[in-house]
Amino acid sequence: MTRTSRGKGRIVLDRVASALWYVPGSFALARLLGPRYPLRCVLFHDIADRESAFTNGLGVTITRRAFEAALKFLTRYYTPVSLQDVIAGTDGRGLPARPVLVTFDDAYASVGEFGAALCFQYGVPAVFFVNGACLDNRQLALDNLICYVANIRGLGAVKSAAIAAVGRDDFELCSLKQVFSRLLPTMSLSAKAAFRRALTAATKRDERDLAAEAGLHISTQQLCSLKTFNIEIGNHTYSHTHCRSLSLGDFAHEVDRNKAILETISGSRVRSFSVPYGSSADLTAELTTHLHQTGHEVIFLAESSAGSFRSCASILDRTSINTGADAALFSKVEVLPRLRTIRKGLGFVSGGGRHEKKSKVISECPVSERTFSDEVADSDEVHI
Ligand SMILES: [Zn+2]
């Protein structure tokens, strides 16, 4: 099947799944697709009425109105639970009927500015996964810097920076999606640092000034206040990096350091980890072991399947949400995850298993030869 026909198939499937919302007994119908769905986990990123040059193209933005509509949908048809509830009821039997856990990734300031307060208003606890490097807008996340350069200077400037970083030009970059799904996953930390420097040079700006001007990320002061809104802080690596290319030594820099920083600021224990970009291909056996040994009790992915409690109760999957429409939410939360789980069960998804380290780092493997998860390739969204 070609990618174009897969894309059309997804659109049709999504429309059919959304149409189910208008059929009487829609939740019962969804259960026919797969009754076992012990915990829905949903994922938000930035809440803003307009995308900026730093976010346009990432697919991470939901408007305030849509976000509030999504909260209304979740509180009307589900029972919001906290991470503590999930940990206490790890096999699903201890949770209330139709539980849902709300999460946020990527340290966006909008969560501190009004997302957390709105969650609190609707009685929704949440987990907020933060990258320490972005706190107080000291640095832009690499994803936002790439996005900015693509929007301001064009994709060609992004490719030029990539060539300068890896020292080769034998790869194609025709879209932002290719940057995130093909280029970044296999870059080493040092290659990413070189990429960042080259991208910053393309902006002709000081990166710190650019980060301050963008004001995308949460401050330490805002982070401290989140506890009062029943928002728990989680680890999302220090620099928001793909974990498949991390060595054991890198874990101290990206995982342990970030946990320590967040615990110092928040005064609370960090006990959960969200895998940047959400792919199970990044959750290697080494990383899983390290996370469990360092006090991370729950690990989150974002592959939008219904198998919330995967092979073990400490690894949960999430569905990314960027809509407030009831039918679309029903499709995204209730129907499509079940269909993906069925598809995975039938073996149609060959994406990297979490105990496989599939890809070599970029310095060892030409871009054209690299594989990437079908789960990512099948999606129109850039999962951040
Ligand atoms: Zn992220």
CA 278 / ligand 1 centre spacing (Å): 7
β-bridge mates for residue 101, sequence order: 41
Q: What is the pLDDT of residue 342?
A: 82
Using a 10 angstrom Cβ sphere, with 0-12 exposed, 13-18 middle and 19 or more buried, the burial of residue 348 is exposed
For the chain, list the strands marked E by DSSP. 40-44, 46-47, 61-62, 79-80, 99-105, 126-130, 231-235, 272-274, 298-300, 315-316, 319-320
Task: Tell me the pLDDT band of 288, cut-offs 50, 70 and 90.
Answer: very high
What is the pLDDT, as a whole number, of residue 344?
75
**The dihedral of CA 168, 169, 170, 175: what is its sign?**
positive
Distance 23 CA to ligand 1 centre (A): 35
Confidence of residue 206 (pLDDT cuts 50, 70, 90): very high
pLDDT of residue 14: 83
| Mean pLDDT (the chain, rounded) | 86
Q: State the distance from the centre of ligand 1 to the C-alpha of 237, rounded, in angstroms.
A: 9
pLDDT digits (tens, 9 = 90+) for 107-150: 999 999 999 999 999 999 999 999 999 999 999 999 999 999 99
Among residues 46, 51, 193, which one has the least CA distance to residue 106? 46
Ligand 1 center from residue 105 Cα (angstroms): 5
**Cα–ligand 1 centroid distance for 236 (angstroms):** 7
Q: Among 70, 29, 59, which Cα is nearest to 335's? A: 29
Q: Which DSSP helix (H) or strand (E) runs through 28?
A: helix 26-32
CA–CA gap between residue 343 and residue 350 (Å, rounded): 10
Structural domains of the chain in order of their starting residue, each with its CATH number: 3-377 (3.20.20.370)
pLDDT at 279: 93
pLDDT score, position 6: 66
User: Any idea what DSSP says for residue 371?
Assistant: -
Q: Are 337 and 310 in contact (CB under 8 A)?
A: no
Distance 382 CA to ligand 1 centre (A): 10
207 CA to centre of ligand 1 in angstroms? 20
Tokens found for residue 265: 């600021």
Separation of CA 276 and ligand 1 centre (Å): 4
Residue type, 161: A
pLDDT at residue 170 in the model: 84
**46-50, 100-104, 169-173, range with the lowest pLDDT:** 169-173
Q: Which string of DSSP letters, residue by residue, matches 232-244?
A: EEEE--SS---ST
Q: Which of 8-17, 24-33, 49-58 has the lowest mean pLDDT?
A: 8-17
Name the one residue in this structure whose structure tokens are 């291909």.
Answer: 281
Model confidence at 4, pLDDT cuts 50, 70, 90, reads: low
Quick check: 21 pLDDT over 80? yes
pLDDT band at 3 (very low <50, low <70, confident <90, very high): low
